[in-house]
Chain A
Amino acid sequence: MTDLSAAAPSSSPHHRGGASLIAPDARTQARNAAERRFRRFGLSAVLLGLVALVVLLASVLGNGVSAFRQTYVILPVTLEASVLDKAGNRNPDEMKKVTTLGYGKLMQEALIAALAERGIDTGDLKPKEIMALLSKEAPADLRDAVLADPSLIGQSIAFPAFATSRVDGYFKGRVTMDSAARDANISPAQLQLADAMRAAGLIETRLNPGFLTRPDASELRPEAAGLGVAILGSAYMMLVVLVLSLPIGVAASIYLEELAPKNRWTDLIEINIANLAAVPSIVFGILALALFINIAGLPQSAPIVGGLVLTLMTLPTIIIATRASLKAVPPSIRDAALGVGASRMQTIFHHVLPLAMPGILTGTILGLARALGESAPLLLIGMVAFVRDFPAAPPAGFFDPASALPVQVYSWTQRADPAFAERASGAIIVLLVFLLSMNALAILLRRRFERRW
């Protein structure tokens, strides 16, 4: 030892020995500086992420929250039996003969009467232009309300009718007098009338539950568009995905992890599953179009097809997560079970699977969350179609046309009317709320099932 240290360069031990413990030497300073640098990089990366998140949330919330509120014209209308139920027997089948045109006329008269009663000056606006403050959907809504409850006939009610999207936009700040002057759909005079009606209590802005429950509406009536069909379609698809992908994925993982011989073939399968997880989702869409619609002949736009394609997409995620959590179960548990004479199946189902359950559930829910937000493959199977009819109750409803939340966002952003941009942001909020609650559920389940060994 002594010989060795003597042979070493004399400066080094001398330097070390003589160095103060308080003043760091150059090497230590360099190392500390490197650590500080790395910390700063990490911190700035985190901050950058946070800023991006805040900007995203602020923009979505800023644009979208207003979609949950809607401007209504509170229309005092007397539902004349002589107009709406000429036969007088309150039979909805016969009442259906009165079309929305009839209701529109009734509403127009009621609106002009209400304005006159309140002494609101309509200037030189024609009755048709006054009526244009109401949504084109309003007569249909009133008709639906009357057909659903014929006893309303003969009564005077205050019917909350959607205001047209331009009026709605005016009170939300999207439409101004300047833009109205250049707009063929609305004039500044109409907006002045709207102001007066609002002052008189004929117009108010309130929460719009219809945004979540109503079906999509046409290009010309964004105020009436809702997410009902999209939410239901997404829910049906998630049901299909869950029912198919969880058992198939878990069974495949158990087979691959616990039962299959480890050889070249299982290696190949493993690599392919990992690759499948990375396949662009639109490719799955093309596959589904060819397989499920063209060959199997399933209907287009149907949640069953969407569910099947999303199942294909989710399976690799679930299999990878499940295999990871099966791998994480300590082998000593398997030994213990086999050692007391449990069969392989008993070992897996009594001991390994319960311990792997939190991981499997987390993986499944995250896979589902990804599937919920997926739009590209759905475009290819026709789920981007305009669907106004609610799908029936399951199981028949799985084969009815439906929309999906992310696709609804996509199709709304495609439309010209800026009111749809607001609704698209609102739909994104709904989508985010669903995703967040699914992730929260994953965390909750994980906490609940987690057991230590």
Chain B
Amino acid sequence: MNDMRLTERAVTQTAKITARGVQVHYGTNHALKDVDVDILDKTVTAFIGPSGCGKSTFLRCLNRMNDTVASARVTGKIEMDGQDIYDPRVDPVQLRAKVGMVFQKPNPFPKSIYDNVAYGPKIHGLARGKAELDQIVETSLKKAALWNEVKDRLSAPGTGLSGGQQQRLCIARAVATSPEVLLMDEPCSALDPIATAQVEELIDELRAQFSVVIVTHSMQQAARVSQRTAFFHLGHLVEYGETGHIFTNPTDPRTEAYITGRIG
């Protein structure tokens, strides 16, 4: 299966997000050093690397979630569709509607399944009227491959679902605001293998509409779901390229060492 994937990489080459010289400091800690990345549209990009290498930090730069960390300072340039997302005129709230995020631990709101998905469209005013909102909720849940499991109990609390369902609910919630980019921070690390497989399958489907960026600890997962892979180590972007290339023929010795399990 993986080998099949490696050969069918017909990806579009338009860059959705371009990052140039991105540096992140947490107080005195230099967490991310000079990262240049082009994230392609309609592609799954995986960030791999050992713990504390800066991959999550970089992911959180892409929707300015680092703004909520008081000590974080981001320099460099990150452009989405040619617009600098760190321009002072950019409202992070608007940016986050375009760049959805799914977190490591499933974190549905303690509200009903319906309200979980409808919350984003509501606050962004994406739906005129109840019927339209219903429609958004349904399509989002369908995109997250959760509709069939929950369509009869939309008013049940989202926290009552199983872990894998909760994570797909979070994906549905992120998808509901019609983002252009979907950021996933280790979305499967709290899930069992079956739920993981479901979410991975879903990620592959989401690629048709979104540019997906996924941070993962599992190299197998990166190999399974992504078309491009970036390897981070100690705050540096060591290597970035075709997933197949990174896994079969890495150019940097550190990448090779990580992939073969000698570091990390």
Contact = CB atoms under 8 A, between A and B. Distances in A.
Contact of B100 (A335, A340, A350, A452): A340
Interface in A325-370: 330, 332-343, 346, 350-351, 355
Contact of B93 (A262, A332, A341): A341
A351 B170 CA distance: 15
B68 A338 contact: yes
A42 interface: no
Contacts of B147: none
B93 A336 contact: no
A351 to B, nearest CB: 6
Interface string B97-112: 1001111010111100
Interface in A276-306: none
B110 A341 contact: no
B94 A453 contact: no
Contact of A335 (B70, B107, B120, B176): B107
A350 B63 CA distance: 21
Contacts of A343: 93, 123
Contact of B177 (A335, A341, A453): A341
Given A333-B107, A335-B103, A335-B107, A340 B120 contact: yes
A13 interface: no
B65 interface: yes
A355 B120 CA distance: 19
A336 to B, nearest CB: 4
Given A261-B70, A262-B70, A340 B103 contact: no
A340 B173 contact: yes
Contacts, number: 68
A341 B174 CA distance: 9
A355 B119 CA distance: 16
A452 B160 CA distance: 10
B83 to A, nearest CB: 16
A341 B124 contact: yes
Contacts of A342: 93, 119-120, 123
B233 interface: no
Interface string A138-179: 000000000000000000000000000000000000000000
Given A332-B103, A333-B107, A346-B123, A340 B65 contact: no
Interface in A422-453: 451-453
Contacts of B170: 336
Contacts of B173: 336, 340
A341 B120 contact: yes
A452 B159 contact: yes
A336 B159 contact: no
A336 B107 contact: yes
Interface residues of B, dominant DSSP: helix
Contacts of A337: 109, 119
Interface string B207-248: 000000000000000000000000000000000000000000
Contacts of A453: 110, 159
A262 B70 CA distance: 8
A355 B65 contact: no
Contacts of B42: none
A341 B105 contact: no
A340 B110 contact: no
B96 A336 contact: no
A336 B120 contact: no
A335 B177 CA distance: 16
B119 A350 contact: yes
A332 B108 CA distance: 9
Interface in B57-95: 63, 65, 68, 70, 93-95
B68 A341 contact: no
Nearest to A334: B68
A334 B110 CA distance: 12
A326 B72 CA distance: 22
Contacts of A351: 109
B109 A333 contact: yes
Contact of A339 (B63, B110, B123): B63
B107 A341 contact: no
Scoring B68, B159, B177 by chain A CB atoms within 10 A of each residue's CB, the highest score goes to B68
A178 B177 CA distance: 89
B64 to A, nearest CB: 9
Given A350-B119, A452-B159, A453-B159, A339 B101 contact: yes
Nearest to A339: B101
A79 to B, nearest CB: 68
Contacts of B95: 341
A340 B70 contact: no
Given A335-B65, A452-B159, 10 more contacts: A332-B105, A333-B109, A336-B107, A339-B65, A339-B100, A339-B103, A340-B174, A341-B124, A350-B119, A452-B110
User: Nearest 4 pairs between A and B by C-beta?
Assistant: A341-B97, A332-B107, A340-B120, A339-B101
23 contacts: A332-B103, A332-B105, A332-B107, A334-B68, A335-B107, A336-B103, A336-B107, A336-B108, A336-B173, A338-B68, A339-B96, A339-B100, A339-B174, A340-B97, A340-B123, A340-B176, A341-B177, A342-B120, A343-B123, A346-B123, A350-B123, A452-B159, A453-B159
